[in-house]
Structure 1
Amino acid sequence: MTFARTVLAAALTAATGAALAGPPAAATSPWGADDEIGRLNLMTDASRAAVLSRIAGGKVYDLGVDYHKAMPSWSLLGDPTYQIWMTHTPQGTVVDDPMKVGKAMNEHVSYSGDAVLMYTHTGTHIDALSHFGLNGRIWNGFAHAQHLGDNGWHRGGAEKLPPVIARGVLIDVAAAKGVDVLPDSYRIVPDDLKAALKRQNVSLAKGDAVFIRTGRMRVIGDKDKYMSNPPGIGLESARWLVEDQGAMLLGSDNLSLETFPVETEKNWIPVHTYLEAEQGVAIMEVVDLEALSRDKVYEFAFIGASLKLRGASGAPMRPVALPLRAQR
């Protein structure tokens, strides 16, 4: 069954008692009535300085993926796939002479230009907290009716997301399980996360940017396989990471973070709404974690800044990781 059919067919089973304890709703921020970035408020000048002071050396891991026309993308609901086209070519410039400088000049000075079109949640990207809400409201109670205009969100847009500089932690669940890629629809539970962290001899701390490796990046060249029934975390793991361990940001190498089919009947994407609307946690998806896994780099300085797309529900990001020295 394809990912699209899975999602549109709804969920497999009823939610656990904990998941249904009280009607879920968009939460009010503890950072005040104007807060639009949620747990990214955990970053401070001191926290950024602390992680930057521990960078071990000059090696940089690029966590972003290439953008190209054959890449996997979320087009299930009609959003556009990535497109690129030339707006100027050297030969076209010779023919059209747009600057009116003549053939000789255009043959001497070549000119290329291009344009792209894509859904804002394409490739390596971060969700703004306006991406998913509950009952007409997003994080901090901002209502669709008052804060969403024809040109995007007036509250919670991607332009509000700050550059992220934080301690990053890789939880390599696939490696801990001894597989290249977790099975389709594998739901990662807290015991899986704890076992991987124990194997890596790493502990989580409040304010971490935590990245879950499922191994899906190994098959990104086959977009149907990459998209169909992805493994990922469920609600129990999301709660453990945020409420118990204090994670500030969560990311993964798949295009959903959570697994599909989901575990609830009353919500088709429960981890997203729990994290973004209820907890104010930004989500990153399609993060390339393969090199970190290969080199067993489990703790690093995570640095990433997204495009300041005003009013958008998400934005592309090209993040990097720099290994850290062990703390004394």
Structure 2
Amino acid sequence: MTQRWKQRPEGSNWGDFGEDDQIGRLNLLTPERVLAAISEVKEGRSFCLSLPLDYPGGNKLNPRRYPPRRFSTVRDGRANYNYPLSRQGSAFTDVISDDAVLIHTQYSTQWDSLAHVGAQFDADEDGVAETVYYNGWRGGEHVIGPEPGKDCGDHCSQFEGVEASRLGIENMAATAVQGRGVMVDLHAHFGNERVLVGYEDLQRVLDADAVEVEQGDMLCLHTGYTRLLKSMNHSPDLERLNASCAALDGRDSRLLRWIDESGISVLIADNYAVEASPARPGEGLYASLPLHEQCLFKLGIHLGELWDLTELANFLRSHNRSRFLLTAPPLRLPGAVGSPVTPVATV
């Protein structure tokens, strides 16, 4: 295939896993890394790391994302729920219930695909910026949106025919997403205080807890955010949430460099966006989500958001551990730019 770019973004790894790569740092989850992860299982205990998918509740966290809507399928013009399925004489012998769901793929516990965030970047080296995503895949050609200028108000149901024919979440699902998780317990150090965690803060936590991060590890950040969110019982207090719990400082260039040099395969947090959103003001022309740009666009590092990490983090701390086996494939939904996930940690 013809190379899609003549220059790659500074600090990116485009092409390092092949010109046509669509999974980025997941390439580092080799059989050797999976075996190392399995060796972390000591007790055979498993933890579900997903929120119930009707959390956070409402659409205050993101006005464009709504809770799941469940409804019955239809059989013979009737709701196919508690539906009499067969008859013997005058008696029905069995009934059936069958439902469907309309779900926003990034409403609750989720993965971001590499098609979720791209950038305007002069990949052709002709002085004109193009819409491009990780490894030079093109907006409009490989990540296909609706016809330009189409407007249908606040709802997405009329925007049909959108898909990521490259970088879709199905590529992530096909890898099975299994490896060694490493927990960084920010909440144990900062509590519910709103703190922007930069490189120096992160290093202090890693050193204090003797946490080692190796190439291919799946880094998890416990901030306490989803614990606070669950206490709000589907009615999130946005002002309180925005003033609580640690989040990575995406404007810290040393932190972004460490994310690259650490060799992590994915980056996960129990908060809304992994990084503080909105980010601190930048200088000149800058990304509104700098850590998303670094991870999804430049390095091919998938981001996990709104994971439920508190019970696992507490267990690991009480047992003086930070490592575990993590299995977290998304839905194998072709063309999607994100997906719900039900991660499982085994310790």
Q: Give the TM-score normalised by structure 1.
A: 0.80
- Cα pair distance change 1:104/1:48, threshold 3 Å: farther
Give 1:261's match in structure 2, choosing from 266, 278, 287. 278
Give the match for residue 143 of structure 1: 138
For the Cα contact (< 8 Å) 1:229–1:261, is it kept in 2? no
- In the alignment, is residue 81 of structure 1 matched against residue 67 of structure 2? yes
- In the alignment, is residue 156 of structure 1 matched against residue 162 of structure 2? no
Give the match for residue 266 of structure 2: 249
Structure 1 distance, partners of 2:26, 2:102, is 28
| 295-304 vs 272-281, greater mean Cα deviation | 295-304
Q: What's the CA shift for 1:310?
A: 0.3
Give the match for residue 291 of structure 1: 311
Give the match for residue 115 of structure 2: 130
| 150-159 vs 240-249, greater mean Cα deviation | 240-249
Structure 1 distance, partners of 2:346, 2:67, is 31
Structure 2 distance, partners of 1:277, 1:93, is 44
Residue identity opposite 1:272 in structure 2: H
Give 1:234's match in structure 2, choosing from 236, 244, 249. 249
Structure 2 distance, partners of 1:54, 1:113, is 40
Segments of structure 1 that go 5 or more residues without pairing to the other structure are: 1-21, 324-328
Give 1:216's match in structure 2, choosing from 205, 216, 225. 225
- Cα pair distance change 1:198/1:67, threshold 3 Å: same
Residue identity opposite 2:104 in structure 1: Y
Structure 2 matches for 1:1-328, cutoff 5 A? 28-68=14-54, 71=57, 76=62, 78-87=64-73, 99=85, 101=87, 105-106=91-92, 108-135=93-120, 136-149=131-144, 150-161=161-172, 162-177=175-190, 179=191, 181-183=192-194, 186-221=195-230, 222=232, 223-225=236-238, 228=242, 231-235=246-250, 236=252, 238-265=255-282, 266-295=286-315, 296=317, 297-323=321-347
Q: What's the CA shift for 1:204?
A: 1.0
Q: What's the CA shift for 1:77?
A: 5.1
Structure 2 distance, partners of 1:287, 1:31, is 28
For the Cα contact (< 8 Å) 1:214–1:254, is it kept in 2? yes
For the Cα contact (< 8 Å) 1:73–1:82, is it kept in 2? no
Structure 1 distance, partners of 2:217, 2:63, is 32
RMSD: 2.9
Structure 2 distance, partners of 1:100, 1:79, is 40
Q: What's the CA shift for 1:182?
A: 3.2
Aligned residues: 295
More helix by share: 1
| 216-225 vs 245-254, greater mean Cα deviation | 216-225
Residue identity opposite 2:344 in structure 1: V
Give the match for residue 6 of structure 1: none
Segments of structure 2 that go 5 or more residues without pairing to the other structure are: 1-7, 121-130, 145-160
For the Cα contact (< 8 Å) 1:238–1:275, is it kept in 2? no
Give the match for residue 19 of structure 1: none
- Cα pair distance change 1:96/1:38, threshold 3 Å: closer
Q: Give the TM-score normalised by structure 2.
A: 0.76
- Cα pair distance change 1:146/1:288, threshold 3 Å: same
Structure 2 distance, partners of 1:94, 1:159, is 31
Percent identity over the alignment is 24
Structure 2 distance, partners of 1:206, 1:302, is 15
For the Cα contact (< 8 Å) 1:74–1:122, is it kept in 2? no
